[in-house]
Amino acid sequence: MIDLPIRDDLRGLSPYGAPQLDVPVRLNTNENSYSVPDEVVEAIGKALQAELRDLNRYPDRDAVALRTALADYLGHGLTVAHVWAANGSNEVQQQLLQVFAGPGRTALGFTPAYSMHPLLAVGTGTRWVDGRRDEDFGLDAAHAVAQVREHAPDVVFLCSPNNPTGTALDPAVIAAVLDAAPGMVVVDEAYAEFARPGTPSALEVLPGHPRLVVTRTMSKAFGFAGGRLGYLAAHPAVVDAVQLVRLPYHLSALTQAAARAALSHRAALLGTVEAIKAERDRIVSALRAAGLGVADSDANFVLFHVGGDQKAAWRALLDRGVLVRDVGLPGWLRVTAGTPDETDAFLNAMKELDR
Ligand code: PMP
């Protein structure tokens, strides 16, 4: 190993990396299993073609047309001034930490939650505090508030629906954390479109909460993970603040054009959501019927207890051509809900594990 003078706080760390293995059934990164429909492929193709001659010029630095389309999609009276976009919600969250956290500041999340939140904290020199959820992975308002009071973080991450557990937060928890937090509160709603009926979005409480930021992505429900487009909704002052740290022209003209075309065909793209929710519910019922512990899911994935060593179960499923995710919770694995065929393959492989 060449001894490079990398930062002390990065030495010895491993990069984020879910295995990208070429197996028949890939259910480990919560992607949308359905490929992009023909009509959208055509629309994106045309939109990209129209940009090509102008690639000698920098793109719209403020991505105004795209942000306007995203605001229109979100509704809730939001406008271009409330919305910001970047290359995936990971980049949005990194920008939030760069501007509201960083060296000498603290971010708090409630583990187990999305594993990139602490890694983004490390990368931005932010001190990370691993807050705790309850034994059953729930989070009640009093427990969350006590931890916020104890650590007085500059940024609190809430994840709803939560990854890897799948369950949406009770809005009372978000309200209580907003009340108690001395700094910014980021609600990561990457999976919002899959929530069970009656689950409100934190977008509803944006008015009156200038320190609330809701992050969303086109990677999941929109089936646009390869397009890399994440965004946030917040008070316009937050959008102004992230301009201080964003790189100029961070969103390529091609990304902006592709995402705009995808948004204008959103009915076709989001048409898969109900089918995915049905597979999610089928997985939950089948695993529960088999006697396994399963977390309630408002997302396109399911966290389930394997009734033994999760590493061995992960391997055994992979040997049967089914790649799921070991999120590092002893005894638990996470599986993405995809097509009916993928569900069949997963459930059949699970049955074989029983024998
Ligand atoms: N938030 C959560 C909770 C996620 O699970 C993911 C993707 N796994 C992301 C954010 C990041 O998504 P992207 O950067 O593709 O928008």
Q: In this predicted model, what pLDDT tens digit does every residue of 41-78 receive, in sequence order?
A: 999 999 999 999 999 999 999 999 999 999 999 999 99
Which residues form the pocket of ligand 1, taking CB atoms under 6 Å from any ligand atom?
A: 30, 88-90, 114, 159, 163, 188, 190, 217, 219, 225, 230
Residue whose CA lies nearest to ligand 1 atom number 12: 89
Residues 182, 303, single domain; the answer is: no
224-236 pLDDT, tens per residue?
999 999 999 999 9
**In the chain, alpha helices (H):** 38-52, 64-74, 89-100, 116-123, 141-151, 171-180, 236-242, 253-264, 266-270, 273-289, 310-319, 340-354
217 CA closest ligand 1 atom index: 16
Q: How many structural domains does the chain have?
A: 2
Q: CB-based contacts of 316: which residues, under 8 Å, 6+ apart?
A: 349, 352, 353
Boundary-marking domain end, from 226, 244, 264: 264
Question: Where residue 259 sits, what CATH number does that domain have?
Answer: 3.40.640.10
Boundary-marking domain end, from 264, 291, 318: 264
Contact 174, 186 (CB under 8 A): no
Q: From the CA of 212, how far away is ligand 1's center (Å)?
A: 18
Residues 91, 193, single domain; the answer is: yes
219 CA closest ligand 1 atom index: 15
pLDDT tens digit at each of 355 positions of the chain = 678 999 998 988 888 777 888 899 999 999 999 999 999 999 999 999 999 999 999 999 999 999 999 999 999 999 999 999 999 999 999 999 999 999 999 999 999 999 999 999 999 999 999 999 998 899 999 999 999 999 999 999 999 999 999 999 999 999 999 999 999 999 999 999 999 999 999 999 999 999 999 999 999 999 999 999 999 999 999 999 999 999 999 999 999 999 999 999 999 999 999 999 999 999 999 999 999 999 999 999 999 999 889 999 999 999 999 999 999 999 999 999 999 999 999 999 999 986 5
Probe target for ligand 1 pocket from 28, 95, 159, 163, with the most ligand atoms within 8 Å of CB? 163
Helix/strand/coil for 198:
coil
CA angle 301, 32, 189 (to 5 degrees): 60
Helix/strand/coil for 85:
strand
Q: Is 0.95 surpassed by the pTM of this model?
A: yes
Domain presence at residue 66: yes
Q: From the CA of 85, how far away is ligand 1's center (Å)?
A: 14
Residue whose CA lies nearest to ligand 1 atom number 14: 88
Residues 154, 27, single domain; the answer is: no
User: Domain containing 161: what range?
Assistant: 38-264
pLDDT of residue 1: 62
Question: Where residue 297 sits, what CATH number does that domain have?
Answer: 3.90.1150.10
Burial class of residue 248 in the structure, from the number of CB atoms within 10 Å of its CB (0-12 exposed, 13-18 middle, 19+ buried): exposed
218 CA closest ligand 1 atom index: 16
Question: Looking at this protein, which amino acid is placed at residue 70?
Answer: L
Residues 249, 314, single domain; the answer is: no
Probe target for ligand 1 pocket from 96, 110, 114, 159, with the most ligand atoms within 8 Å of CB? 114
Residues 177, 294, single domain; the answer is: no
Residues 164, 278, single domain; the answer is: no
